[in-house]
Structure 1
Amino acid sequence: MNTSEDSLELRSQLDCLYEATLCLNSLQSMEETLPDLVTLLRPLVRIRIAVLLERQESLRTISWREAAVSDGEFEGAQSEAANQLKYLSGLPGSDFDSIDERRGSPAAASTAITIPLIVDHSPIFGVLYLNCHLLTETDITLLHALGGHISIVLDRRLQVKVQQQQRAKVQQQADDLQRMQAEKLSEARFHMLAESLPQMVWTADPRGDVTYVNQRWIDYTGYDLAQSRSGNWLGAVHPDDRKKAEMAWQKAQAEGCAYEVEFRVADRLGNYRWHIARATVEREEDDSIRRWVGTSTDIDYEKRAHLLLLEKNERLVLLSELANDLLTLTVPEDIIRNVFDKISGRLSLDLYLNFIVIPETNKLRLDSYHGIDEDQAQIINPLSWGVGICGAVAAGKQMIMVERMQDLTDPHMEIFRQNGMNACVCYPLIVRNHLIGTLLFGSIKKSTFESDDIELLRTIGDQVAVAIDRIYIEQARFDAMTDLENAREEADSANKAKSLFLANMSHEIRTPIGIILGFAGLALEENPEIEPEVALKTILRNGQLLAQLIDDILDLSKVEAGHMEIERVPTSIHEILDSLSTLFQFKAGEKGLALNVEISTDVPDTIITDPLRLRQCLVNLVGNAIKFTERGEVEVKVRMIEPTGVNEGLGCRLLEFEVRDTGVGLDEIQQNKLFQPFSQGDLSTTKKFGGTGLGLFLSRNLARTLGGELYLSHSSPGLGSTFYLTVDVSSEAAPSRAPSESSASSFNIRSSLEGVNILLVEDAPDNQMLIKKYLEIAGAEVTIACDGREGMEKAMAGSFDLVLMDIQMPICDGYQATSSLRQCGYMKPVVALTANAMRGDRERSIRAGFTDHLMKPINPKQLVMVVKQAAQKKSFNPNHH
């Protein structure tokens, strides 16, 4: 190569070196600079692979290769560069282990050069490994020069970096010192602020351990900083709130979020007050938690007011729910059970007792209960007023609360103690100032009841009382409506029966009246076909039948009014049965029936009873038996029987009459209506056999009045019936009374009143004539007055032995006339004549001054007997009336 070419090449190398120096002095990183250097050198040196290894704090590899270089060759070059660096620097092999493991294939037909990177006599800090196609001496010189420049640049960069690091360290130390001083100042200010606040203030490290508490915390809780560490601060929190506080604190720590919770904190004396605890996070610049800063603020007044409001609202809701339930429930036991189910959990109740007042007594009935067994309930049911808690509440009508029952020795508390009750409260159930019962609640857990609980239970008790009273009122209203409906149905039934009765009575009355009028008319016409005696007997018989109908109607009114009277006198049972046989033998014979009467040997001849009423019962029974029997027989048996049932042990002597027939009999429906008034078997029976339907109803009531009973023993359709009549015939003093028809039946009226002068005061001419004729037949002398005033005048003017005075008369009635006579000093006997047959008529007559009382229609024998007895008294004695 000639000189000019050498000079030109040298210049090119210098220019390249200059450009490389400029490139190295740029602000680019070596990763960016190495490819640029290779690009500058390639026109002079054909570089295939370039590897720059720099060792400062750590080994750094910067590589480049041309596109044709394989991965294996490239890795081999990197490994060779590392080996050269180890060889040249004498560094431990461990720093190059990661490179030594690369095993690439050696470069083929190429030249490699390793240029150490070193400044002055400093240790080598790197190598520049170049793999080229071909290198000349000039290339090697150029590359070594380039290596020197690279070494200087890298060293300078290293020095700059070291200086920067030193300056940064000094600045960091200054910053840390300033920060620490600022933190100390801030902490001092924080502590000063924390100590001046009324709240309890605290801080905690990132782990949650307390690092600071202010004096307010120490003064209130008694816990200093050491005692508050490691979660010990929870000891000041109410046991019921600790879990809530701890879980909220753990959640805040885990999530790095704000902490807020309400709990009760105890002071030094153990008194708890509500606080709200809040904590926020102070974070470092890297957003990590530096510490927690928290406060605890006293909210006791607000919290208790809030809780009280909530409690009141809950109780209002509860009372509203109970009120709705109480409006729908219709059984007192369901009401109490529903109330207990709703409040037992809220108020820790384990027992209730509901007593209801037993009307018209001083006792309580246990209506419903819970918490005691059935045997215990029987012990306290019923409960007298004043006995036990509930009895005392009923007597005083005041609430009673009993505390610590297990410590009491009162025997009335034994049942409560057996069931573990520790406290109870009992309320009177009062509506409109009227006690209807008591309600007691008991608790095992409670030793007493708070005032709010007492007031709530009192309100509930008032609601329960109103609900139970409402049920009673509704039940009473329902019962009244039911009774009213039953009464209406009974009234309708009675009206129908009475309508039927009136229709029957119309027939029963018109029939004898028609016969009486008919035969009387024939007798007046002197019809030769009608014998006078037959006509008169027919008229008499139908008149008696008509009188019996009227007597039945009067007896019915007495029975319905409860005014039936009896006369208990010595009576011949044989005479009654003989008259019964005489009365019905003819009727039985007309129908071809046998009438048999059998008297047991144990029946005495004389019994004590009312002969008229007994005969009335027997006439009805035997008459019915004959009426409803078409063939066969009617049998009457009389015997003495032993008293049973309600009569047993009362000294009764019962006479029993058995009346059996072989007649039509009765089905079950007819038997059920048999003893009802105005009722017979059915309408067809009434039409076929006649009758008013009063006989058996009257006879049963008469039998009971006589101390016995009338009942149907058995009956079957077509097979006949058997009735039993019992009467009490034991000895008993009989009240004085006018002679009855039975006692007058054997009395002979002729000449009985011989020489007796009688004044008859009667306004009806027919009665005047009839009564006068009866008395004249008996031998009396009779003077007639037509009204009360005339009767008074004649009585005062004449010398009569006795006055017979009608009651209902014009001008002046019998009561007024007799009363006036007595006031004027008239002392002769005065006997009342009246059609009034109701209870009290006789007593009214006696009070008016009458000596005795006779009812129309007049029985001639009874008339003569009464007049004779009265005339024998000679004068009126008011003290005997």
Structure 2
Amino acid sequence: MGEFFTKLFDTSDYPPRWDCGNWSDGEGWLHILSDIGTWSAYTAIPIVLLYFAAKRKDFPFTKLFGLFAAFILLCGTVHLVEAIIFWYPIYRVSGLLKLATAVVSWIAVIILIRYAPRMLHLPSMMATNKQLLSEIEQRKQVERDLRWLQARYEAFLSGTSSIIWTTDAQGNFIVPQTSWQRFTGQPWTEHKDSGWLNAVLPEDRSEITGLWNSSTKDRSSRQIQGHIWHAESQSYRPVITEAVPVIDQSGQVREWVGTVSDIHEQRRAEESLSAAEARASQRLKELELIYETAPVGMSLIDQQHRCLRINERHAQMNGISRHQQLGRQVEELMPGIADQIQPLYETVFETGKPVENYEIYAQTPGDEERHCWLMNFHPLVDETEAVWAVSCIIQDITDRKQLEETLRKSEQAALQANLAKSEFLANMSHEIRTPMAAIAGYADMLLERLQEPDDRQCVIVMKRNGEYLLELINDILDLSRIEAGKLEVELEPVSLPVLIGEIQSLMHVRAQEKELDLTVKFVGKVPETIQTDSIRLRQVLINLLGNAIKFTDEGEVRLGVRLISDSEPPEIEFAVQDTGIGIPEEQQKKLFKPFSQGDTSVTRAYGGSGLGLAISKRLVGMLDGSIWVTSEVGEGSVFHVRLPLDSLEDVPLIEPDLTTLSAEETAAESDVLPVLNCRVLVVDDRREIRHICQHFLEKAGATVQLAQDGQAGVDTILAARESDAAYDVILMDMQMPRLGGLEATAVLRAQGVETPIIALTADAMKGDREQCLQAGCNDYLSKPIDHAQLVEIVWKYSRRDQREAE
């Protein structure tokens, strides 16, 4: 036995239960959680039992609660140990606990057998208690009824606005009068016996005393008018007192019961009613005056379409005097328009609903010219809700209609002018971009061939100025599209770190050209993705960073990005800060207006059209955001852009770490172009565009053929298909003689040609890309053509075509 207790907690003799048998995780945890749940419940039950025993000292069997608590607690501990054995095989402790549970269980059985006879007597004691409780409850109910009657009587006295009083046979107060004291403010010491007369108006006391004495003598009911003191208003109020005698069995007056009613409000109401009647009479006169002098025609028509009433203005419209129109039918008075308005009267009579803003063009006997009349018909109903008459209001709106027609024509002229402007801009875009494409293309070709630094510098200057001219064209087109409402934003999930990284890499080269530091910093955690239009947001940030670099000669340019989570809704803020020339306060208000800069000296020193910030402000507004600037002359400027965000509940917050590319890395990356191994057909009516495309594509390894218009392109493509020499990619200009690019693409798709078609166009207005894609083009490349983009897009679609063929 000694060895048993020394090894009580020794687990080396038995393996854990997890190692016994083929337990699955589900089976094992089913046992473990069940044992733990049983143990927790078995622990809670003894606590409740012991709590009850501690609170109910009068219960005769409280010791049983302690015994039951020990028994249940031991049972729960056994289950807890069973759960522990899965990891620690303390089987000796388990056995010892089971033994203790068995001993306590049998003790409980023995004690229960001993106490059972005594417990059987409990129901009779409970019945006695129940009977006693029933009698107590009955007595309490009687007391509650008495208190309720008393409370109702007191509430009746205190709640009524009138005074309820009782006196003895001689008219003396013998008990305190609650309602009298409340009304007059007289305490019991003052109004007892006949002291209540002191609250009566002195001028009324003799009359009231005489009437009261006569009532007590002949024992008759009496109604008396007078004035008594009102404590709340501190004045004597007019009242009516009613007194009724209470006769006993011997026919004698036992007491008097009566009421005193305050008629002050009643008299005020009567006075107010008289005043209201006077005001109503005055307003009626005013309405009559308005009716007679109104600048619109007004009349009243009955169910037989007879004129019951008409004002002077309506009579003038009809050309007949007022007294001659009364009682006559509308058909007699206005024969020219009766057939149009009589159905309207019938509609109002039948439906009981008004007919409003009905326009009629007609002549009346009062004027030979045609007029436009605006008419409104409203029903007048009687107490049975039946329509007995229709009120007609008529207004001559001929001048207004003529003005509206003039405005409509002006609006159409303005719309046509705006359409002409858009068409002009689209045409100018095409006309300028087409030669720009040739200039840019041949500049790139010259740069490949020239070796002399001065010659290369001349070509580089030409190319830069061409790019600058293209930027101006794009700005003008963007501003025109925004003002015409033809520029839309497309919201989609955008990776914020990727977007900022692309902008940083692009602007880093510009900053290095001016030997400026460009830093990008995320302040705290920001959303990994945001819902926005990435193209428009990139355009805004590149514009702001480009301005910051342009107007900064030394120092640095910073782009800060931070999340403002405490606003509603949350916002993302972009702050572009520079150490440039700064902006005077009086010039800051003009910054976001088209064609505006700080001043003319800025334009001369730095150049620019002044459209960038105007476009940025409008784009930010279309994204439901805000943009503003803070600046100090000579210290630099900070441009802030805030955009609202959707809920951040499902969006992870991160701290991005961007790596700035060096100029060499960026240049190297842009110089690496894919090698082409495909057949390409270039269809364009401009020889120089065909030549430029052929040059760059053949240099990249492609085999290139040319077609000078859409019809020639269609014929060439169909012929190549018939000879099993189909092209891998087609470059198709959109504006060509004989057959345009859109029409040529539609013809090819109708003939079953599935070759990828890339649209080449100088158009840049809204809908150009969508129009090309709807016609059957696979992609879109705008002029002037960037040779790297040209090679990339041809490689992309030639590879896709080859993969599909495989």
For normalisation by structure 1, the TM-score amounts to 0.39
Which one scores higher on RCO, CA 8 angstroms, separation ≥ 6?
2
Query: Larger radius of gyration, structure 1 or 2?
Result: 1
For normalisation by structure 2, the TM-score amounts to 0.42
